[in-house]
Amino acid sequence: MHIKDIVSKKVSNQFTHPIKVTFGEMTSTESLIIKVVTDAGLIGYGEVCPFEPVTGESIQTEEVALDILTDILIGQDPLCIEQVHHLMDDKIVGHTALKAGIDIAMYDLLGKASDLPIYKLLGGVSNQVRSDVTIAIDTPEKMAQEATDYLAQGFTQLKVKTGIDQATDEAAIRQILDAVGDKATVKIDANQGWTAKQTIRILNEFRNTQLDIVEQPLPYWQHEENQLIRSNITQDLMLDESVHSPSDAYNVISNGEADMVNIKLMKSSGLFGAEGINKVVESAGVPCMIGCMAESRLGICAAAHFAAAHRNVAYCDLDSYLMFKESDWLKGGFTSEGGLLTLSDQPGLGMEVDL
């Protein structure tokens, strides 16, 4: 099988309401949907959802880089995934979200060619995964109300965005913990917005509560202080923006910086890189989470297949699609209820894409 063409289509995902995180407020996101066309008549689909503050890419830079990668990939066998990554990495450093879109499309093709869903190709544990749901920064009262609403919908894991204002962060955490009682666990994601001292002080205020994980409190380049945090809090420290690749994972694990890492396909150049990160951290006895940027159901479906394939993926933070209005160009892949995602057993991603 050979790649005949790679085409992309820009889609806009409209949030049902504005989302606020430390990077700013967002009302919509854009993705590039990648279509890898083969001479065998099979088509693979992937999604590129760049987020400039984390990977340095935008839709505009991806469109330029895609032309360059398309030139070198036409004629290649899309089922030789390692070779395709080698060619892409040799040609352009970075552009991990773009490479993720191409990677997802290749795994979709691999599944379609072998008549297997991706999660079985990658290992295969279960066709179901449980995701948390994220509460964005707002007033503490509104955030606590949102937590209560999610419990009523059946969610048992909440993730809370913090990191803009310390007093508001603490008030929000307290009100959310009061609202959920023992009905849900709570992760806090400061998105690089705290110092080590703040992190230690805040986490110690919430010892012995349902708050069990703090994610990326420090800027991604600050490494030594992660060890200080770990030795001074009882909760687990998860690193996100500090870990993009298997070598990043190796470095933070060997430095004793993390109890957990958050893998995102847009950081890891897709499923191939995610496999590498998971194996590195698993070999050190460290579990991982699979998270997302702001992908549509397509990118989320690929990440859910990865989670469903591996026992070491202890948590899923695959909820961006819940915040978007329905897309009429995308069907299938998985169903969800209260954070429980059930994957289709159709080949590849198991999705119908009409673009």
Contacts to Mg ion by CB under 5 A: 189, 215, 240
Active site residue 9: no
Torsion of CA 58, 248, 306, 92, to 10 degrees: 40
Q: What is the CA radius of gyration of the chain?
A: 20
Tell me the closest approach of the beta carbon of residue 146 to Mg ion, in angstroms. 18
* Paired sense of beta strands 24-38 and 128-130, if any: unpaired
| Three-state secondary-structure class, residue 156 | coil
Q: What is the spatial distance between Cα 293 and Cα 318, in angstroms, rounded to a whole number?
A: 9
Which 8-state DSSP code applies to residue 202? H
Which 8-state DSSP code applies to residue 116? -
- CA of residue 203 relative to chain centroid, distance: 24
- In the complex with Mg ion, which residue's Cβ is closer, 138 or 215? 215
Active site residue 4: no
Tell me the closest approach of the beta carbon of residue 216 to Mg ion, in angstroms. 5
- In the complex with Mg ion, which residue's Cβ is closer, 249 or 330? 249
* Paired sense of beta strands 260-264 and 351-353, if any: unpaired
Query: CA distances (Å), 214 to each of 334, 350, 352, in order?
Result: 29, 34, 37
The two tokens of residue 157 are 């894991």
| Three-state secondary-structure class, residue 25 | strand
The answer on whether 215 is annotated among ligand-binding residues is yes
**Residue 93 CB partners (closer than 8 Å, separation 6+):** none
- The closest of 243, 316, 320, 332 to 284, measured between CA atoms, is 243
Torsion of CA 274, 275, 276, 281, to 10 degrees: 90
Q: Which residue in the block uniquely carries the two structure tokens 């995934």?
A: 81
The two tokens of residue 281 are 């951290």
Through-space distance between the first and last CA atoms of the chain, rounded to whole angstroms: 23
The answer to whether residues 323 and 293 touch, using CB atoms and an 8 Å cutoff, is: no
- In the complex with Mg ion, which residue's Cβ is closer, 146 or 189? 189
- The closest of 119, 55, 67 to 308, measured between CA atoms, is 119
Q: Which residue in the block uniquely carries the two structure tokens 């986490």?
A: 203
- In the complex with Mg ion, which residue's Cβ is closer, 62 or 215? 215
- In the complex with Mg ion, which residue's Cβ is closer, 52 or 71? 52
- In the complex with Mg ion, which residue's Cβ is closer, 109 or 289? 289
Q: Which of 35, 112, 120, 161 is catalytic?
A: 161
- In the complex with Mg ion, which residue's Cβ is closer, 220 or 250? 220
Annotated binding site for Mg(2+): 189, 215, 240
Active site residues: 161, 264
Annotated binding site: 189, 215, 240
